[in-house]
Amino acid sequence: MNICIVTEYFPHSNDLEIKGGVEVCAFNEAQQLSKYNNVTVLTSNDENNTESFYLDNIHVICCGDKRGYTQKGSITKRLKFMKDAYTIGKTLQDTDIVIGYNFITYPVALKIARKLNIPLAARYHDVWIGRWLSTIGITGLFGEMMERYFLKQDIDILLPVSDYTRENLLPYAPSETIKTVHNIVDFPIVESEAYKKPTISCVARLVEYKRVEDLIKAVNIIKKEIPDIQCKIIGTGPQEAELKQLTHDLNLEENIEFLGFVEKHEDVMKVVNSSKVFCLPSIIEGFGIVIIEAISLKTPFVAAEIPPVVEASGRKGGLFYEPKNYEELSKCLLKLLTDDTLYEKLQEEGYIQSKNYSKEAIGLKLNKIFNELKIEK
């Protein structure tokens, strides 16, 4: 088949210089689908201002104005990207199926599918209807309208990354058009020595719903029992200055290090691998792929107890706490940092759980679904 993937961001090398779970999902699935099909990716132009290139067998076409990564706002440039992606997409006459990967790209994929009279698929990470304004702010109004508009359309197949997201989609689409396909986890093979001091790592965009402030407050409590506790935070975002100020106010600058944006995924995983514990305090996740990556490295986790992460982990390899409850978070972290028997148990069971998300298995499942969809259409 000839498959067109529309994703707002896509790495420009196998170093996987991406920013979040949606981009990891698009990259991993494009790689697997390209084993059986011709894959073209329509994505944003980046700082390199490259029009098009090949990444292994994947043809990547850059659309819109040159721009950096952003999670919210940038509406003018996002609209320009959408317009250009559609303009290019409708010329890909041999395309058999088009797949959208997020709220910005769903309408583009929809218009391409209608223009070329081909099946439309949407990879769905989370349902945000009713939460856009409270989570993103006033610019979330654009996302709210886009998502509601899209789910009212005739979509051939919705592919949520978890059963939790599938349940949230049921009020908006026929159940027969919704099939759960979990995210691929391209298990990192990294070599790194453990940090000499007890260390917690966190990989998250620095935005409100990731609740990184809860981790900082938990570290403040842990410091009373483990004075040399260390915390490595990877990620950037609009809350960065605020979180650094909180760290300063709590006198934690010797304990918490903000590593910012780490370009190579391998280097991100080296930090996780070297840490004693991984923490995901986020209260909104579509799947929680970084949790699976952590337990594949035998780094147990502590995470806010939200359905997608519970589903992904199978409650194996880590501990859960009540979302936003930083005092309970500190207790869970202390437990893992001090209880060697529990720690070793979670290491082993988590590693076994991680093997349920191999790229080969998920790639074959997606390829089967898309081939059946093409035949039906």
Note the pLDDT tens digit of each residue in 1-10: 999 999 999 9
Note the pLDDT tens digit of each residue in 131-153: 888 877 887 888 899 899 999 99
CATH architecture of the domain formed by 2-184+358-376? 3-Layer(aba) Sandwich (3.40)
Instruction: Count the Cβ atoms, other than its own, within 10 Å of residue 293.
Output: 24
pTM of the entire predicted model: 0.71
* Mean of pLDDT values over 183-211: 91
Instruction: Count the Cβ atoms, other than its own, within 10 Å of residue 341.
Output: 7
- Report pLDDT for 139: 77
Residue with tokens 């699935």: 29
Structure token pair of residue 28? 């991993």
Alpha carbons 131 and 167: distance in angstroms, whole number? 16
Residue 288 or residue 113, greater confidence: 113
Return mean pLDDT, the chain. Answer: 92
Alpha carbons 18 and 36: distance in angstroms, whole number? 24
Note the pLDDT tens digit of each residue in 9-36: 998 887 766 657 788 889 999 999 999 9
Q: Judge if 2-184+358-376 and 199-356 fold alike in CATH terms.
A: yes
Q: Which CATH number fits domain 199-356: 3.40.50.2000, 3.90.1150.10, 3.30.470.10, 3.90.220.20?
A: 3.40.50.2000
What confidence tier does 377 reach under pLDDT thresholds 50, 70, 90? low
- Report pLDDT for 135: 78
Q: Domain extents for the chain?
A: 2-184+358-376, 199-356
* Mean of pLDDT values over 99-124: 96
SS3 per-residue string spanning 274-314: HCCEEEECCCCCCCCHHHHHHHHCCCCEEEECCHHHHHHHC
- What ranges in the chain are assigned the alpha helix state H? 21-33, 75-89, 106-116, 132-136, 140-151, 163-169, 212-222, 240-249, 265-274, 289-296, 307-313, 326-338, 340-354, 359-376
Note the pLDDT tens digit of each residue in 239-257: 999 999 999 999 999 999 9
Task: List, as one string, the DSSP characters of 251-279.
Answer: T-TTTEEEEE--S-HHHHHHHHHHSSEEE
What confidence tier does 70 reach under pLDDT thresholds 50, 70, 90? low
Cβ atoms of residues 192 and 298 within 8 Å:
no
Residue 24 or residue 232, greater confidence: 232
